[in-house]
Amino acid sequence: MIPRNFRLITIPVSHYSEKARWGLDYLQIPFKELAHMPPFHRGATKKYGGTTVPVLVTETGAATDSTDILRYLDRLYPEQLYPIDPQLQLLSTELEILFNNTLGVHTRRWGYSYIATSELLYPRWTLGVPFWEKLLFPVIFPRVGAILKQNFDITATSGAESYREIEIVFDRVDGLLADGRKYLLGERFSAIDITFAALAAPILQPPEHHISPAPLESLPTQMQTDIRTAQGTSAGKFGLRMYREHRSNSVESNAIVNLSN
């Protein structure tokens, strides 16, 4: 039986949260999004044994990692997200690990290398969160901003370093797409396409993302250059197509609480 009462604890701008949100939307599962700003997500996730977002809570339990969430959803709706063919499973696992551990980590570090200022983070972090968290932003930012820089190793060169790591992952995806395949595992849309597109979104800035991208000109110059270059690659075009073809229709439909407050 499919459990009810799905709740997704997020930091709305988090790309790992977007990955889980996309999985729920794709399967047309209604859910309530409980949005928080760092570090307040910790209070919400702690009781489920998680420290990071997303956390999916249902009436029967909780999953505290974006991949665990997609795999849990795949058990509820078999063969909708992951392949059953053993060969495809091997590729699926290899790509999932690469995207989770390298792409997602470096698109985040690349982004924060350029926008870890109070002015640029305020609109991104406070979207949809409880008003009292929003009010506390100026009070907590000096400390949280410093922790963020330390945790993600943000330095004068981290943007360029992480961009190089992103390029290596994009090269792998370019290589796969070179045979003309429609999706990363072949002919069928899967969790791996969701994982790639959601975790690449910070550098691809897809217009269909539920958080509308900032105008390119408002971003630091190096970011603009990197975004344009990434968007022009085969992998970048592929990620943008996944948003266009598999995200635009579902994006507004399933979250019971939208991010408007």
Region from 45-53, 155-163, 183-191, 213-221 binding ligand GSH, contact rule CB under 6 A: 45-53
Secondary structure in 3-state letters for 41-92? HHHHHHCCCCCCCCEEEECCEEECCHHHHHHHHHHHCCCCCCCCCHHHHHHH
Q: How far is the CB of 181 from ligand GSH (least distance, A)?
A: 25
- Cα dihedral 127/142/55/242 (nearest 10): 50
Helices and strands of the chain, counted as H and E runs = 11, 4
Binding mask 102-141 for ligand GSH (x = CB under 6 A): ------x---------------------------------
Residue from 38, 128, 159, 236 in contact with ligand GSH (CB under 6 A): 38
Q: Determine which residue in the list 25, 33, 65, 226 makes contact with ligand GSH, applying CB under 6 A.
A: 65
User: What is the C-alpha R_g of the chain?
Assistant: 18
Does 233 help bind ligand GSH (rule: CB under 6 A)?
A: no
Q: Are β-strands 6-10 and 31-35 bridged in parallel, bridged antiparallel, or unpaired?
A: parallel
Residue 16 touches ligand GSH, criterion: CB under 6 A: yes
| For ligand GSH, the closer CB: 4 or 46 | 46
170 is an interface residue for ligand GSH by CB under 6 A: no
Interface residue with ligand GSH among 27, 32, 52, 137 (CB under 6 A) is: 52
Choice between 38 and 128, CB closer to ligand GSH: 38
Alpha-carbon distances, residue 183 vs 30, 189, 246 (angstroms)? 26, 6, 12
127's CB contacts (< 8 A; 6+ apart) are 12, 13, 35, 211, 259
Least distance to ligand GSH from the beta carbon of 66, Å?
3
- How many Å apart are CA 23 and CA 165, to the nearest integer? 26
**Residues in the site for ligand GSH, rule: CB under 6 A?**
11, 14-16, 38, 51-54, 65-67, 100, 108
